[in-house]
Chain A
Amino acid sequence: MEFFLQLVLNGLMVGALYTLIAMGFVLIYKASEVINFAQGEQVMIGGYVALMMLSSVRLPLPLAILVTMGLMALLGFVVERGILRPLTGYPVVSVIMATIGLAAILRGVAPWVWSAEVRGFPAIVPSTPFRVLGVPLAPINLASAALALLCMGVLGYFFQRTRFGIAMRAVSDDPRAAAAMGIDLRAILALAWAIAGMVSALGGVIWGRILGVDPYLAIVGLKVFPVVILGGLDSIMGAVVGGFLMGVLENLAAGYIDPLVGGGAKDVVPFMVLIVALMVRPYGLFGREIIERV
């Protein structure tokens, strides 16, 4: 029972991170129906920039995080302007390939500029673990869970209560109608990419603190796909629930299936869940049932 509890709690902690990354993904999908294969790479860049702000520029932590978020928002904006806007109206495969190309560029640039060695992040929160129900948990993990929930709250408020948030929902609902009502589509898309950049900056800080900053940080981007398919591509709530669920699921798989198959269940079980989810409920747990069905 303690083993089970440990797996679940640790899964929730990892899931918090998936949640953060999945939210950036959902934001972009909601606004523009673009699927961003460079999400993981953006998180990696976020980690590098934050590290640079802390160790080279020597900013205090809160300021460093804010500056990183600003720079990542700028990057998102530039990507939207430079790569995705020219591709408006192109077939899906082109847009997917464009973000894959972007991912390759970022993967090449980051280690070139900042070196490919793993570099530790300065401690953000105390590192002595404390116990929840007898299971030791690292404070950084709790911080990331708290941050994910905070982000969800902020984004939820943003979408429900603010002008821009409501405009964004209108655009994702029906871009033409939204434009007819005077909403600036271009501004909304740029905003979505900027916010997604900020969220991935936070992901980069947390993930970088846990794993150290190096190009492999980008691999976390692949975890996004099972999470968002399970939760629903266009639902922030889905990203959160999907993230926590998938974190727990893969941890349980690692705990109980690994001994049977000799390791690696963590990497494959989410994708098996993904296939099942696609077959049974393609729009996910919280997505709207309007996706293209055959």
Chain B
Amino acid sequence: MAVYQLPLARFGLVALLVVLFGVVPLTASDYALSILNLVGIASIGAIGLNLLVGFAGQISLGQGGFMAIGAYTAALFALRLEAPFWLALPAAGFSTAVVGCLFGIPSLRVKGLYLAIATLAAQFIIEWNLLHSGWLTGQGAQGALVIEPATLGSLVLDTERRKYYLIIVVALVATVAARNLARSYIGRAFVAIRDQDIAAETMGVNIFRYKLLAFAISSFYAGVTGAMWAYYTQVVSYEHFLINTSIDYLAMIIIGGLGSVPGSILGAAFITLMPAGIRDALEALKRWGMPGTLGNFAYVREIIFGLAIVLFLILEPEGLYRIWRRIKDYFRLWPFAY
């Protein structure tokens, strides 16, 4: 079965690529590009987490910590070994995959909420180690590293537009790889483990191998996300990778749709765009004479973030992707209802 069944979908894909590579970078402002860049980076991490949580059914609260490993690896490769970007990026992915496997080992003993707590512990242990690894980062308690922009050959990726091209290419590769992985034997093994692990084992799926593989692949994505983040901001500090980051990424895949690659991207866009949207709304309210609304931005953000999670869970557990599919089906089947 082809990924895209309808000619329209294939045409749509080409149109999307033209928009992504041609129209957007030529017309968008730097501000719009910077937001798109953040969405692109977050998409990679969300897809990775969704492979683990949505497909393989292994809950992880450690995505932030894994991203930190990737970011620090990339930064240290760039600073200490003076490795080029194209080497630092996979290095970040692979080193994070190793750490991810390490913390994935508890998944062989426990599952469900016990695993959630184990990965929570992983998050805190990684955080603490970053904070106390001055011997490695050499920058004291804050552990902040500053790196040069990524270069490809003689091309220096230092403006929003140049970074955009890089991010969009990596994000597209990540998306295509994940979609194909999901359709492969590995992806089906993940889903089998998620749905009924004992049945999966009876069918000959090696649970031990595929659970660790899920952690490895997901952590690889997290590491790449961290490295992209490092090259995008050019400052690596442990503060970007706290437990809140892990929760943000879980929120992305819940809101976008568990077990759906396009959903991960929609969720990443939702969570990334939300703060800007709230800020705009508050500014509008202020113009209409609501006093002191902007000062409450941080609280409003928390509340709406929480409400979005809870409401999506209750009203549309399959997330934004389900909504998107319903819209699509409506037009595809029109004028019939089904």
Contact = CB atoms under 8 A, between A and B. Distances in A.
A binds B: yes
Interface of A: 35, 83, 86-87, 90-94, 96-98, 100-109, 111-112, 222, 225-226, 229, 261-264, 267-268, 271-272, 274-275, 278-279, 282, 291-294
Given A108-B301, A278-B118, A101 B313 contact: yes
Tell me whether chain B's interface is mostly helix, strand or loop, or mixed: helix
Given A92-B116, A267-B124, A105 B310 contact: yes
Interface stretch (B12-20, B233-241, B247-255): B247-255
Interface in B278-320: 296, 298-310, 313-314, 317
Contacts of A274: 117-118, 121
A19 to B, nearest CB: 18
Contacts of B218: none
B59 A292 contact: no
A93 B53 contact: yes
Given A267-B128, A278-B109, A282-B109, A97 B251 contact: yes
25 contacts: A35-B113, A86-B314, A91-B258, A92-B112, A93-B59, A94-B254, A100-B247, A100-B306, A101-B305, A104-B306, A105-B303, A105-B307, A106-B306, A108-B298, A108-B303, A111-B299, A222-B120, A264-B128, A268-B128, A275-B118, A275-B122, A278-B106, A279-B105, A282-B110, A292-B110
A90 B312 CA distance: 13
B107 interface: yes
Contacts of A268: 124-125, 128
B202 to A, nearest CB: 14
The 3 closest A-B pairs by CB, nearest first: A108-B302, A104-B306, A101-B309
Contact of B117 (A94, A225, A272): A225
Contacts of A97: 250-251, 254, 309, 313
A96 B59 contact: yes
Given A92-B116, A225-B120, A101 B302 contact: no
A112 B296 contact: yes
User: What's the interface size class on B, roughly?
Assistant: 35 or more
Contacts of A100: 247, 250-251, 306, 309
Contacts of A96: 59, 113, 116
A112 B57 CA distance: 36
A109 B304 CA distance: 10
Given A271-B121, A272-B125, A98 B106 contact: no
B93 to A, nearest CB: 24
Contacts of B302: 104-105, 107-108
B100 to A, nearest CB: 15
A108 B307 CA distance: 11
Interface centre among A83, A107, A108 (most CB of B within 10 A): A108
Contacts of B296: 112
A98 B121 contact: no
A212 B55 CA distance: 44
Interface centre among A91, A262, A278, A294 (most CB of B within 10 A): A294
A293 B207 CA distance: 13
Contact of B132 (A86, A92, A261): A261
Contacts of A267: 124, 128
Contacts of A94: 254, 313, 317
A291 B128 CA distance: 30
Given A94-B313, A100-B250, A267-B128, A279 B106 contact: yes
A77 B113 CA distance: 23
Contacts of A275: 106, 118, 121-122, 125
